[in-house]
Amino acid sequence: MIEFHKMHGLGNDFIIVDCRDGAAVPSADIIMAMGDRKTGIGCDQFIILSAPKSADADIFMQIVNAADGIEVEACGNATRCVASLLMQETGQDAIVVETVAGLLHCAAENAGKTQIAVNMGAATHDDTKTFFGRDGYVVSIGNPHIIFFVDDVMAIDLEDVGPQIETDDVFPNRTNVEFAQIIGDDEIRMRVWERGEGITQACGTGACATGAAAIKAGLGANPVTIVMDGGALTISEKGGDIYMSGPASYVCRGVYAPSDA
């Protein structure tokens, strides 16, 4: 049996399993079975918590795609959820989440510890790459992204072009794909095709990468609101680092007991 928490950030949802007590890390098969929306519990990513490797961190977070069982480097929405969960547990207003991409400093922005700000670190900007006649900004925020600024995000057939760009040979580790529309100086509408997952309601690192690209290119204010299918995040650049602010929502806790266990 596997005890779990279910949380989401703007509809980007997670199963969170705490292995700090030495519980076995679920296999890729179990992760995909639990993540299946028809026959399991359902989630975009599966989050495994363990003791931190760094003395400067409070917890280590491993992120695995529920669709394919492949580990990924970063997830902004999951970081807020894990930070909120640990703050509720400890009573702290600030914690450090460790991932394979580095240390993420998180702070509560309300008394309930459900609105979380995260320093995502510096964004790395690469050369633009062209797909379907559009130039995309290549940005890393712990994981890879390409952002296309378009006149109308709803006119893009994301389900068609997303996987083509994700798996193109120019991205040896695949990439997340964002299409963004400038609504106003301080507001951008964005839709995302997540690497290994497909279309999701929101992507924290995608919002960060889009905000970083817009701020650097002079297309958006600092801070800027990134509006996604599931809701909005506030993205800002301070001292070279990208900050993300948004909600973390608790759904339920439960026990998964597969019939063949």
Residue-wise pLDDT tens digits, 176-197: 999 999 999 999 999 999 999 9
The overall pTM is greater than 0.85: yes
- Tell me if 71 is assigned to some domain: yes
- The answer to whether residues 131 and 29 belong to one domain is no
Residue 226's nearest CA partner among 240, 250, 206 is: 206
Task: Residue 20: give the domain boundaries.
Answer: 2-121+247-256
Q: How many Cα atoms are found within 13 Å in the side-chain-facing hemisphere of 232?
A: 10
Q: Residue 135: helix, strand or coil by DSSP?
A: strand
- Please tell me the distance from the alpha carbon of residue 259 to that of residue 84, in angstroms, as a whole number: 32
Band of pLDDT at residue 260, cut at 50, 70 and 90: low
- The answer to whether residues 224 and 251 belong to one domain is no
CATH of the domain at 162: 3.10.310.10
- Please tell me the distance from the alpha carbon of residue 49 to that of residue 248, in angstroms, as a whole number: 17
- The answer to whether residues 230 and 162 belong to one domain is yes
Mean pLDDT, range 49-76, rounded to an integer: 97
Distance of CA 170 to the CA centre of its chain: 22
- Please tell me the distance from the alpha carbon of residue 189 to that of residue 187, in angstroms, as a whole number: 7
- The answer to whether residues 130 and 232 belong to one domain is yes
What positions carry a catalytic annotation?
75, 203
Q: What percent of the chain has pLDDT over 90?
A: 97
Reply yes or no on whether the pLDDT at 94 is more than 60.
Answer: yes
- The answer to whether residues 73 and 12 belong to one domain is yes
